[in-house]
Amino acid sequence: MTSADGVPARPARHHPGTARHLLTLADLTAADLDRLVERGCAIAAQVRAGDPALAATLRGRVAGVYFTRTSTRTRTAFSSAALRLGAGLIAYGPGDLQLNTGETIEDTGRVLSGMLDVLVVRTAGPVAEMAALAAQRRMAVVNAMSAEEHPTQALADLTTLRARFGALPGLRVLYVGEGNNTATALSLALTRYPGTELHLRTPPGYGLPPAIALKAKEYGAVGGALLVERHDMAQLPQRIDAVYTTRWQTTGTTKPDPDWRAVFAPFQVDETLMDRYPDALFLHDLPAHRGEEVSAGVLDGPRSVAFEQAENKLYSAMAVLERAAGGAGW
């Protein structure tokens, strides 16, 4: 195709009317959340079948991956997802952008939005920083972890649960450990499904942020989902489908209490706890410290789906990129 003066015309960049950011799961309707989970499960089947159509989904798009913190699963998942969907990929480390020399976040977002279709960001900072990058309408911004919430982890979690149980409504999950960004995301996600139960056992002083607990309970009230949080291991629920824990020392954070390990010790997931629920699966977002939040026998045991859960990060990342970059069907 050429212009009127005979110069080859540049292909038009894809620009959705409004960039489909994913800064928090509160950005999604319940229908969009479920659609992403279903799409993740469908993509898993397509990848395993070697479906060549996936490689054309985001052809011509360019994704940026900006990680200021260490990452194995999430960075690899989004990088691999972009490449498998046919998108170009640009990776930035913590010292690569002019943010380090004083350029504002807003200016950085405006500049990158003229060159990228989607920017995947992982920091230990607040979601507000990502919102500043998202203060433009051309480039979608995806929260691949922030201090408050890890939304793409929850999508991988729900994809795993759906693949294993066939459906999410009515599932009962016991989460044991700190009310961190993983717990926040799980709370905002699972309570969108009718009849689900999320029982949290968090150490004293390390529970869910009150605003998140309130929001999750508001979601639950719509479809009859239940969220219960206690700060001890007494009065555990009788029936549970999945037990979930995370590393006690979350990436990029420290605990002010020097004796925090003693506070967390009763909240280890071990064989005794799992024996209460002989049919329950075990989930962990990884990396894991065997002997701390989970015993080796549980993590490496036959009911653990932690490494399947890690693989599902790829498929859910592909679904997220399809939505963010305006792939077919979105």
| pLDDT tens column, 90-136 | 999 999 999 889 999 999 999 999 999 999 999 989 999 999 999 99
Report helix, strand or coil for 73.
Answer: helix
Contact 119, 88 (CB under 8 A): no
Q: Which residues pair with 67 in a beta bridge?
A: 122
How far apart CA 179 and CA 23 sit, in angstroms, is 19
Report the distance separating Cα 84 and Cα 61, nearest Å. Answer: 12
Distance CA 163, CA 116 (A): 32
CB 211 within 8 A of CB 236: no
Which pairs with CB-CB distance under 8 Å and at least 24 residues apart come from 262-266? Answer: 263/203, 263/204, 263/205, 263/206, 264/177, 264/178, 264/203, 264/206, 264/292, 264/293, 266/203, 266/232, 266/233
Average pLDDT over the chain, rounded to an integer: 92
Question: Taking a C-beta distance cutoff of 8 angstroms, is the pair 262, 205 a contact?
Answer: no
CA 178 to chain centre: 17
The DSSP line for 214-273 is HHHHHHHHHHT-EEEEESSSSS--S--SEEEE--SS-TT---S-TTHHHHHGGG-B-HHH
Instruction: Scan for tokens 């002010």, then name that residue.
Output: 256
Tens digit of each residue's pLDDT (9 = 90 or more) over 135-167: 998 999 999 999 999 999 999 999 999 999 999
C-alpha 253/C-alpha 291 separation (Å) is 20
Mean predicted confidence (pLDDT) in 263-277 = 98
**Of 1-10, 32-41, 105-114, 195-204, which gets the smallest average pLDDT?**
1-10
- To the nearest 10 degrees (0 to 180), the angle between helices 306-324 and 30-49 is 110
29: left (phi over 0), alpha (psi -120 to 50) or beta: beta
* pLDDT at residue 254 is higher than 90: no
Q: What is the mean pLDDT of residues 176-192?
A: 97
What whole-number distance in Å separates Cα of residue 7 and Cα of residue 78?
A: 36
Phi, psi of 128 (to 5 degrees): -60, -35
Q: How many CB atoms lie within 10 A of CB 159?
A: 28
| Residue 326: band (very low, low, confident or very high) from pLDDT cuts 50, 70, 90 | confident
pLDDT of 4 above 60: no
What is the H or E stretch that residue 109 is in? helix 105-113
Tell me what percent of the chain is helix, strand and coil, each rounded to the nearest 5.
40, 15, 45
| Whether 144 contacts 152, CB under 8 Å | yes
pTM: 0.93
Reply yes or no on whether the pLDDT at 7 is more than 50. Answer: no
**Between 328 and 313, residue with greater pLDDT:** 313
Whether residue 135 contacts residue 109, with contact meaning beta carbons closer than 8 Å, is answered with yes
Determine the Cα–Cα distance for residues 204 and 267; give it in Å rounded to an integer: 11
Q: What digits encode the pLDDT tens for the residues 194-231?
A: 999 999 999 999 999 999 999 999 999 999 999 999 99
pLDDT in the model for residue 55? 95
User: Percentage of residues in the chain with pLDDT exceeding 70?
Assistant: 93
Give the relative orientation of helices 151-165 and 30-49 as an angle to the nearest 10 degrees. Answer: 70
Residue 214: what residue type? Answer: L
Can you read off the two tokens belonging to residue 112? Answer: 């990158």
